[in-house]
Amino acid sequence: MSDANPVPVTVLTGYLGAGKTTLLNRILTENHGKKFAVVINEFGELGVDNDLVVDADEEVFEMNNGCICCTVRGDLIRIIGGLMKRRNKFDGIIVETTGLADPAPVAQTFFADEDVKRATKLDAIVTVVDAKNLPARLKDSPEAEEQIAFADIVVLNKMDLVTPEEAEEVEKRIRAINPYAEIRRATKSDVPIDSVIGRDAFNLSRILEREPEFLSGEDEHEHDSEVMSVSFEVSRPIDPERFNAWISQLLAQKGQDLLRTKGILHYQGDDRRFAFQAVHMIADGDFIGPWKEGDPRKSRIVFIGRDLNRPALRRGFESCQVDAPAADQA
Amino acid sequence: MSGAAEADFLLASRGVSRELGAWVVGIAFGRDGAGCAFGLGDGSLRIARLAAMDGEWQEVAAHDGACLSLCADVKDGFLSGGDDGRLLRVAPDGAVEELHKAGGMKWVDHVAAHESGVRAAAIGKQIHLFDGKGQALKVLTHPSSVGGIAFDAKGKRVAGSHYNGASLWFVAAKEDKPRLLEWKGSHAAIAISPDGTHVVTAMQENALHGWRLSDGQHMRMSGYPSKTKFLSFTAKGRWLATSGADSVVLWPFFGGGPMGKAPTELAGGDNVFCTAVACHPQHEVVAAGFADGLVLMAEIASGKVVPVAAPGRGPISALGWNPAGTHLAFGTETGFAALVDLSKRP
């Protein structure tokens, strides 16, 4: 059961000093006629200019559902429950996480808690990175990688501090981790507000709508990051039972390493596209609109995560197809 | 139509109602028997006087934000906690007095008071205790944010729920060291049985957890399709009424129960979740509100159900009896509020 008018929630992540608070203040002060409730966890060097600011404690706890990586933010459940009591006072919620935060518990809260799920929808995860310091951060902290892996939009900030070559290089690093994130170059976080707010990036009907900025193809480039992405495409229709069996087992066994999974599937005998997404082990899927006239009905799946076994994942996905017609099996 | 009119009979013949325009967060009847307060999501309180309940309901500007929690104060009036960080006492005449203001952007999430003269407010990880005069007594710190607070029947102990369990404190202890009741997971609503022998919490995972204090025996009460938000013991503690299922679920706390006993389910069968329950202060009768706006009373022994208000005015978000058990009040998420006089009439 979901509310007719769920409140959109934007999650803002990024290392301390990357320009998160500058972006936040830009969103809040721009003349867009919208009011936001802001949930923050730390006071940066800059104050937050807003009427409705809530101090959160980033309390993460494990759900007792037998899924070890299913952690959620208890403080967010509490705060969103409170905010809903005056939901007519704002148009959206922005959750700023601390620099060191793993974005997974925040994202999972929006899928795992029934009250939060009913009242809100996750709009997008926006990660602000510092173009100059990102290479160093990627070396010394797994959180920096995770924040990029989870991002729908990466704001590549402080462009005035890097050369064009350095900028190219840092974009390449980001795309190697997450080719599906949209990268927005910025100085002093000066991105258009509508590029980070109102994106509806977690809407199943928009999954994989964007072409990747960098098709990873086979392993032709060096991976110097731990987190990577792989994607596969198959042309025979998918057998829903086989797919469910495979993906459930995969998420149960490898869910800790799989940060985000997204797929658009052509189910055997169905004219509608089936969209699928998961954050670690928490999955969500539904039929979305019909295939476009003339478009090839191909099924695609993307994994962003650690320690991904490309051949095994490929074989697994391929085996979800219906059997090839007998004539092909000469 | 006739069904809805029939279901509205008590509300129409013995009640008054108002559209208050904001989420009804809490309801409290003053211990002096004079008034009933509704705490709202717009930060205001509305006070109805039982002697003239169809008169004006006084509007009291209390919080700059939302009222998050409301209870009856020690002797009369009300205690209100808000997301402006303020703990307020609102006198029966509507006069507002600030008892505490939390620093930063903290919220006063839960309030409780006991007639013996002690008040409690949960702010983040802490429970702040105050005496009847408003003097700060002590601050009890928990390992994580407090999800709910409850006094025992005598006001000697206060319990706070949190992650991985609940803490039980003696209000008057010289040294504040809680008895930690442990169970993994996130605990919110909390209740202490009237005889002080059991503590029960509602958990994130659509289940209740309980502890028998004499020996620390755990109790797990599961099977709910949604989260339980209301826990209410009957007056003598024989039953624990709970929300969260598509019926009123009552656990027996007698004859060795609730361990190994099935709960009694009342007023079910409509596939609509029960969102609020409140046990009558004397009799084994429970009032319940549902997600479709239906409010009813059920006699536990006979299972007999009497409707109070028909569906259609928003999910019931608050519900309560006055101490004499003569008046029932309820409110909805969409701002409908009502007060029903159920006293015997000559």
pLDDT in tens, A157-167: 999 999 999 99
B327-332: strand order across its sheet: B15-19, B336-341, B327-332, B316-321
B203: tokens are 């958990």
Q: Token digits for B255?
A: 């004859």
pLDDT of residue A68: 62
Cα–Cα distance, A283 to A277 (Å, whole number): 6
Instruction: State the alpha helices, DSSP H only, in chain A.
Output: 20-29, 74-83, 104-112, 114-119, 134-140, 142-150, 164-177, 240-254, 310-318
Whether the Cβ atoms of residue A144 and residue A15 lie closer than 8 Å to each other: yes
As a whole number, mean pLDDT of residues B290-305 equals 96
Residues of chain B with C-beta less than 8 angstroms from the C-beta of A62: 184-185
* Residue in chain A lying closest to B333 (CA): A85
Cis amide linkage into residue B258, ω under 30° from 0: yes
ipTM score here? 0.90
Closest CB from A54, A74, A115 relative to B145: A74
- For residue B21, the 8-state DSSP code is S
Single-letter amino acid code for the residue at B193? S
Chain B residues with beta carbon closer than 8 angstroms to that of A64: 184-185, 203-205
Residues A175 and A168: their CA atoms lie apart, in Å, by: 11
By Cβ distance, the residue of B25, B125, B145 closest to A85 is: B25
pLDDT average, residue stretch A52-73: 79
**SS3 state at A215:** coil
Q: What is the mean pLDDT of chain B?
A: 95
* Residue B10: its H or E element: helix B9-14
Which chain B residue has its CA at the smallest distance from A109's CA?
B204
Q: B261-271 pLDDT, tens per residue? A: 899 999 888 89
Res. A98 pLDDT band, cuts 50 70 90: confident
Which residues face B40 on adjacent strands? B24
**B186 with B163: CB under 8 angstroms?**
yes
Angle made by CA atoms B97, B103, B108, in degrees to the nearest 5: 60
Choice between A37 and A211, residue whose per-residue pLDDT is larger: A37
Backbone angles phi, psi at A241, to 5 degrees: -65, -45
In this prediction the pTM is 0.89
The beta-carbon neighbor of A59 closest among B25, B163, B205 is: B163
B205–A contact, CB cutoff 8 A? yes
Distances (CA, A) of A327 to A321, A323, A324, A330, B139: 16, 11, 8, 6, 78
Q: Name the residue of chain B whose CA is nearest to A40's CA.
A: B105
Structure confidence at residue B149 as a pLDDT band (50, 70, 90): very high
The b/e string for B316-330 (b: 16+ C-beta within 10 A; e otherwise) is: bbbbbbbeebbbbbb
Residue B145 C-alpha, separation from nearest chain A C-alpha, in angstroms: 8
For every residue of B221-283, DSSP letters joined together read: E---SS----EEE-TTSSEEEE-SSSSEEEEE-STT-STT-PPEEES--SS--EEEEEE-SSS
Contact B268, B282 (CB under 8 A): no
- Spatial separation of the C-alpha atoms in residues A88 and B40, rounded to whole Å: 13
Question: Tens digit of pLDDT for each residue in B162-208?
Answer: 999 999 999 999 888 999 999 999 999 999 999 999 999 999 999 99
Of A67-81, A310-324, B119-133, the poorest mean pLDDT is in A67-81
The C-alpha of B14 sits at a distance from chain A's nearest C-alpha, in angstroms, of: 29
Q: Is the pLDDT of residue B107 over 90?
A: yes
Strands of the sheet with B157-170, listed across from one edge: B148-151, B157-170, B179-192, B198-203, B208-212, B217-221
Please give the Cα distance from B208 to B183 (Å, whole number). 11
Residue A39 sits at the vertex; the CA angle it makes with A34 and A44, to the nearest 5 degrees, is 105
**Mean pLDDT across A293-320:** 92
With beta carbons under 8 A apart, name residues in chain A contacting B124.
57
Calculate the dihedral angle through the C-alpha atoms of A119, B126, A12, A264, rounding to the nearest 10 degrees: -40
pLDDT at position A217 is 47
A211 pLDDT band (50/70/90 cuts)? low
The B58-61 sheet, strands edge to edge: B24-29, B35-40, B44-49, B58-61
pLDDT at B294: 97
